C-alpha cells in the first residue's frame, strides 16, 4: 500500500533528523485534521520522536467563555430564537449551556447553514432570529453571503452574533509564544481553499517555519508530514499538498463577499487570549445585522466556575499538553459530561483522543 510505503519514508526521515535532536513537533490547526490523525491511527504509527500536536483548529473550542455566555443571554430574551450549529449546544457557559436553556423553554434551533436561519426568519417575520456566527474563514463567507441575501430581500428580523476567528493571526501568536515549541505547521485545507497560501508567508519569512497545506485522507496527511520533514532539511516553504482543492490565490469571490460584509477586529481566543486582528466584525453598512448592536450585548468577563477551573483546554489547543495529561480527561470530563469545549465538539482534540486514542 502507498500509505505503508510513505509511512516508512516518514519514519526514516524522522530518524535521520532526530540524530541531532530529541523530538520534532508538528502542529495541525484544523479540526478535520485532528480527527483524521487520530482516526487513521497516524499518531500511533509514526516514530514517537515525531510529535503531532493539535492546535486551535476547532472553531467551537476557541470560542471564548464570554462569547458563550453572551449567546446564552440572547437565548433568554423574549421573542428571540437563537439559531446555531449543533456543536454549540452543549458547550458549557459559566453557569449553564444552550442545551440546558433549551430544555427550560428557550427557543434554540439547530441548523446546517446560515441560509437555514434566513429561511426561518422569512417564515416568522414577527420574531427575532439570532444566528451564532462561529467559525473560521471557511464559514464566514457563507454567513456574509446570507447577510447580503437578507439585505436584498429586505429581511429585518435576522441578526448575527459575530464570534468568527481567523487562522493566520492565531498562527502568528503561536509561532511567537515562548510557551509553545513548534517545528512546522500542517496548514488547514478548508480554510486555505478560501484564503489561499499568501496569508501564511510570514511563517516562512518571519519565523523560518516549514508549512504545508494538507488534505484529509491518510495518504494526504502522511505526504504532508513528509513534505514538512523535507523542508526541515532544505529550508522552509509554504507548500500545497492539497492541490486538488487549494490554489495560492484562494477563492477570490468568497474573499470579496467576506470583505464586503466584515472587517477585521481584535478577538479573544479561549486558552490563548486576545489576538489583534484575528476576529471579524460588521462593516458600518451592515451594522443593522449585528446582534451585539441590536440587543446591546456588552463584553463582560465571565467567571470561572469550580468544575471548569481545572480544565486545560487552552493548554491542549496550544500544544502545551496532550489531552490525557489533563487530570479531568476521561474521568470527570467525557463526551457525555463535558467540562470543556475540546470534549464537546466533534472536532475537538479531547473528543478525538477519547474516541480513538485511549489505551485499552
**CA separation for the pair 38, 47 (Å, rounded):** 15
**CA separation for the pair 33, 145 (Å, rounded):** 26
**CA separation for the pair 20, 327 (Å, rounded):** 33
Phi first, then psi, for residue 160 (nearest 5°) are: -125, 135
Q: How far apart are the first and last CA of the chain?
A: 27
**What is the torsion angle, in degrees rounded to the nearest 10, for the CA atoms of residue 284, residue 288, residue 290 and residue 296?**
110
Is pLDDT above 80 for 256? Answer: yes
pLDDT more than 70, % of the chain: 96
Contact 318, 271 (CB under 8 A): yes
CATH number for region 2-56+167-240: 3.40.50.11750
**pLDDT tens digit string along 20-71?**
888 999 999 999 999 999 999 999 999 999 999 999 999 989 998 899 999 9
124-128, 300-304, 340-344 — which is least confidently predicted?
A: 300-304
- At 147, the pLDDT band (50, 70, 90 cuts) reads very high
Are 2-56+167-240 and 60-166+262-294 in the same CATH fold?
Answer: yes
What are the domain boundaries of the chain?
Answer: 2-56+167-240, 60-166+262-294, 306-354
**Which stretches does DSSP call E strand in 180-272?**
184-187, 211-213, 238-240, 262-269
All residues at 6 or more sequence positions from 39 whose CB lies less than 8 Å from its CB, including other chains: 352, 355, 356
Question: Which of 91, 86, 87 minimizes the C-alpha distance to 67?
Answer: 91
CB-based burial of residue 288 (10 Å sphere; 0-12 exposed, 13-18 middle, 19+ buried)? middle
**CA separation for the pair 45, 315 (Å, rounded):** 24
Contact 342, 349 (CB under 8 A): yes
According to DSSP, the β-strands at 128-133 and 158-162 are: parallel
**CA separation for the pair 53, 318 (Å, rounded):** 8
Is pLDDT above 90 for 298? Answer: no
> What is the model's pLDDT at position 306?
43
**pLDDT tens digit string along 94-129?**
889 999 999 999 999 999 999 999 999 999 999 999
**CA separation for the pair 58, 62 (Å, rounded):** 6
**CA separation for the pair 165, 182 (Å, rounded):** 21
> Which run of H or E residues covers position 343?
helix 341-344
> Which residue is it, cell 445585522?
289
Task: Over range 120-141, report the average pLDDT.
Answer: 97
Contact 340, 333 (CB under 8 A): yes
Is pLDDT above 50 for 226? Answer: yes
DSSP string, 257-293: HHHHHEEEEEEEETTTEEEEEEEEEE-GGGGGGBHHH
Cell of 138: 471557511
Question: Which of 12, 3, 5 minimizes the C-alpha distance to 49?
Answer: 12
Phi first, then psi, for residue 26 (nearest 5°) are: -110, 135
347 CB neighbour count, 10 Å cutoff:
22
**CA separation for the pair 206, 173 (Å, rounded):** 12
Is pLDDT above 60 for 307? Answer: no
- Mean pLDDT score of the chain, rounded to an integer? 93
pTM: 0.92
Length of the chain: 360
Choices 3.30.1360.150, 3.40.50.11740, 3.40.640.10, 3.40.30.10: CATH for 60-166+262-294: 3.40.50.11740
Q: Print burial letters for 84-95: b (CB count within 10 Å at least 16), e (below 16).
A: bbebbbbbbbbe
Amino acid at each position: 500500500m502507498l500509505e505503508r510505503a510513505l509511512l516508512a519514508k516518514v519514519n526514516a526521515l524522522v530518524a535521520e533528523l532526530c540524530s541531532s535532536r530529541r523530538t520534532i513537533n508538528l502542529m495541525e490547526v484544523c479540526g478535520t485534521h485532528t480527527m483524521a490523525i487520530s482516526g487513521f491511527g497516524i499518531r500511533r504509527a509514526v516514530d514517537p520522536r515525531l510529535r503531532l500536536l493539535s492546535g486551535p483548529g476547532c472553531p467551537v473550542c476557541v470560542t471564548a467563555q464570554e462569547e458563550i455566555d453572551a449567546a446564552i443571554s440572547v437565548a433568554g430574551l423574549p421573542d428571540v430564537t437563537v439559531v446555531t450549529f449543533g456543536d454549540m449546544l452543549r458547550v458549557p457557559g459559566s453557569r449553564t449551556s444552550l442545551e440546558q436553556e433549551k430544555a427550560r423553554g428557550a427557543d434554540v434551533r439547530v441548523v446546517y447553514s446560515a441560509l437555514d436561519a434566513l429561511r426561518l426568519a422569512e417564515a416568522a417575520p414577527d420574531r427575532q432570529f439570532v444566528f451564532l456566527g462561529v467559525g473560521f474563514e471557511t464559514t464566514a463567507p457563507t454567513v456574509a453571503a446570507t447577510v447580503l441575501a437578507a439585505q436584498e430581500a429586505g429581511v429585518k428580523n435576522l441578526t448575527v452574533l459575530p464570534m468568527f476567528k481567523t487562522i493566520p493571526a492565531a498562527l502568528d501568536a503561536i509561532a511567537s509564544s515562548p510557551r509553545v515549541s513548534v517545528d512546522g505547521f500542517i496548514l488547514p485545507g478548508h480554510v486555505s481553499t478560501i484564503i489561499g497560501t499568501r496569508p501564511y508567508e510570514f511563517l516562512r519569512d518571519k519565523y523560518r517555519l516549514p508549512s504545508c497545506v494538507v488534505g484529509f485522507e491518510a495518504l494526504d496527511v502522511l505526504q504532508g508530514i513528509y513534505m514538512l520533514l523535507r523542508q526541515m532539511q532544505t529550508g522552509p516553504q509554504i507548500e500545497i499538498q492539497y492541490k486538488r482543492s487549494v490554489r495560492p490565490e484562494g477563492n477570490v469571490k468568497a474573499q470579496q463577499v467576506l470583505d464586503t460584509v466584515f472587517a477585521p477586529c481584535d478577538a479573544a481566543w479561549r486558552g490563548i487570549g486576545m489576538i489583534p486582528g484575528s476576529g471579524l466584525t460588521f462593516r458600518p453598512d451592515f451594522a443593522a445585522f449585528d446582534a451585539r448592536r441590536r440587543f446591546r450585548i456588552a463584553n463582560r468577563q465571565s467567571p470561572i466556575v469550580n468544575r471548569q477551573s481545572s480544565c486545560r483546554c487552552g493548554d491542549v489547543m496550544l500544544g502545551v499538553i496532550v489531552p490525557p495529561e489533563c487530570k479531568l480527561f476521561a474521568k470527570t470530563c467525557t463526551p457525555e459530561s463535558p467540562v470543556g469545549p475540546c470534549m464537546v465538539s466533534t472536532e475537538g482534540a479531547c473528543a478525538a483522543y477519547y474516541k480513538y486514542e485511549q489505551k485499552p
